[in-house]
């Protein structure tokens, strides 16, 4: 039995907000990942079974390997249909903000969301939440937003009414945001929740295959190229770096999601404590920075200090507005600064 996450007053206020709202927009951060899409779709299914007019709108496209998720066909892409969707956001009476801590993470969707008179609620597990919602719960100790959302939905309604669709989406978010339960997942609560989700008829093995066994041949060629040509190992720092330019992405017919998980692979090197992946964004003139670590190395601290970002202890990210060479030099500077922690001293 899980302890209630919300106070009685918070739970009652959330119930009232949901009960009073009829036209609801459910959204998440730009470049949605499994946790973001899992939360958006799980909450949408919850609202649909409550008879609500709820529309999931995400800032830009999400990876193909998540399009199997129940309800994915109903998700609208804001940057593809801005003229149509901006008025919908403006007319909403409630906007549900999931898996992000600041309106800056909405990019092009920020303006209509912030200008909308709709009340806003936030459910998130990232550090330093901004104060832009009328109701918010932010718990950095949770493995994922989907874990947090499971606990909220069960506190509101109990487990019995939860649908298969909600359970499948919640499990997907928890699985992907913990690297298939390989980091940030040592609490017994997590596995209690997984057990409860299994009672809803989900097939966790099939969900794993849906997410990780659906890549193109080009993605595997790109992976081979990254490991053979682009992997730079720094044994003196127990760290590694991979870089990927727009031109290289074009060479391998890259599509969104093809590099998912690449940053985790160098952590399999004996003694590795940190992996850094730099990728030129194909939609904006920035370099996306991904960091993964093991044990107690603070990815989030490095991301905040050097890469305009943040995140969790073992998984963080950021962005740089510079050339790839300059970004690589900055990584080397960061490794030097954090050398004592990387060496475990």
The confidence score (pLDDT) of residue 55 equals: 98
CA–CA dist 191, 246 (Å, integer): 40
pLDDT score for 239: 98
- CATH 3.10.310.30 matches 217-342: yes
Domain boundaries for CATH 3.10.310.30 within the chain: 217-342
pLDDT at 311: 86
Q: Give the pLDDT confidence of 128-144 residue by residue, as tens digits.
A: 899 999 999 999 999 99
- Domain 8-212 carries which CATH code? 3.90.1640.10
Q: Mind listing the pLDDT tens digit for each residue in 181-239?
A: 988 899 999 999 999 999 999 999 999 999 999 888 999 999 999 999 999 999 999 99
For residue 185, give both structure tokens: 């997942």
Phi-psi region of 309 (alpha: psi -120 to 50; beta: other; left: phi over 0): beta
Supply the pLDDT for residue 345.
59
- The per-residue pLDDT of the chain, averaged, comes to 95
pLDDT digit string, tens, across residues 300-338: 999 999 999 988 899 999 999 999 999 999 999 999 999
Q: Are strands 53-58 and 23-28 parallel, antiparallel or unpaired?
A: parallel
Domain with CATH 3.90.1640.10 in the chain: 8-212
Residues 73-108 as b or e (16 or more Cβ within 10 Å = b) = eebeebeeeeeebbebbeebbbbbbbbbbbbebbbe
pTM over 0.85: yes
Per the listing, tokens 């682009």 go with 230
């Amino acid at each position: 039995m899980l302890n209630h996450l919300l106070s009685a007053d918070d739970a009652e206020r959330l119930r009232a907000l949901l009960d009073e709202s009829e036209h609801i927009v459910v959204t998440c951060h730009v470049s949605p990942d499994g946790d973001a899409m899992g939360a958006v779709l799980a909450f949408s299914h919850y609202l649909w079974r409550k008879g609500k007019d709820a529309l999931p709108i995400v800032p830009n496209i999400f990876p193909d390997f998540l399009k199997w998720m129940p309800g994915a066909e109903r998700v609208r892409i804001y940057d593809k249909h801005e003229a149509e969707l901006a008025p919908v956001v403006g007319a909403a009476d409630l906007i549900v903000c999931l898996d992000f801590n600041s309106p800056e993470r909405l990019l092009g969707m920020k303006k209509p969301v912030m200008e909308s008179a709709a009340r806003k609620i936030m459910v998130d597990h990232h550090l330093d939440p901004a104060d832009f919602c009328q109701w918010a719960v932010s718990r950095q100790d949770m493995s994922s937003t989907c874990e947090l959302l499971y606990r909220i939905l069960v506190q509101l309604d109990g487990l019995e009414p939860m649908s298969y669709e909600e359970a499948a989406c919640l499990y997907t978010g928890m699985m992907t945001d913990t690297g298939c339960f390989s980091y940030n997942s040592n609490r017994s609560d997590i596995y209690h929740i997984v057990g409860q989700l299994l009672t809803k008829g989900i097939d966790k093995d099939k969900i794993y295959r849906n997410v990780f066994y659906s890549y193109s041949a080009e993605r595997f060629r790109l992976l081979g190229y990254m490991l053979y040509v682009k992997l730079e190992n720094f044994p003196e720092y127990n760290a590694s770096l991979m870089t990927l330019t727009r031109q290289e992405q074009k060479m391998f017919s890259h599509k969104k999601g093809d590099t998912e998980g690449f940053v985790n692979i160098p952590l399999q090197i004996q003694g590795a404590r940190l992996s850094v992946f730099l990728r030129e964004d194909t939609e904006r003139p920035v370099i996306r920075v991904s960091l993964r670590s093991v044990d107690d190395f603070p990815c989030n601290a490095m991301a905040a200090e050097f890469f305009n970002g943040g995140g969790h202890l073992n998984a963080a990210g950021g962005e740089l507005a510079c050339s790839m060479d300059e970004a690589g030099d900055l990584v080397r500077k960061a490794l030097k600064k954090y050398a004592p922690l990387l060496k475990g001293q």
